[in-house]
Amino acid sequence: MPAEGYSTGSFRHGPMELAGPGLVAVMLGTGSNDSARRLADDLITAGSVVIDVDAQFDTRPGTSLGRLAVGAVVTQHLAVAIGRARGIEPGAFTHASKITSVL
């Protein structure tokens, strides 16, 4: 499952064209960010699924950096769950080996 991270403004300058059924957006650290809230609304209106980590896990009290850190951990757990559901062992190399294994 390909995934990329974007700031709100960067997403609107290109990837927004992917909005619609089939697109799942995981939004981190939105808090009281009006631009992020508008983007989430626009994605939902286009038919995308939006997962707002702040809203789902009530991370609003605290700093923006703290909310982003919680979002990063949630995203890691989501990636592991998706991998396991697809029969992929998280952290295992399929096509290459760790570059540090050869000196």
Domain count, the chain: 1
Q: What is the pTM of this model?
A: 0.69
d(CA 22, CA 14): 17
Is residue 36 in a domain?
Answer: yes
The CATH number assigned to the domain holding 74 equals 3.40.50.10490
pLDDT 10s digits, 24-51: 998 876 767 789 889 999 999 999 999 8
Domain that holds residue 30: 8-92
Tokens representing residue 100 in the block: 């540090």
- Please give the C-alpha separations between residue 57 and each of 4, 29, 41, 81, in angstroms, as whole numbers: 22, 11, 19, 17
30: nearest Cα among 3, 1, 57 = 57
Q: Looking at per-residue confidence, does 73 or 67 come out higher?
A: 73
Give the pLDDT of residue 103: 56
Give the pLDDT of residue 90: 85
Is residue 3 in a domain?
Answer: no
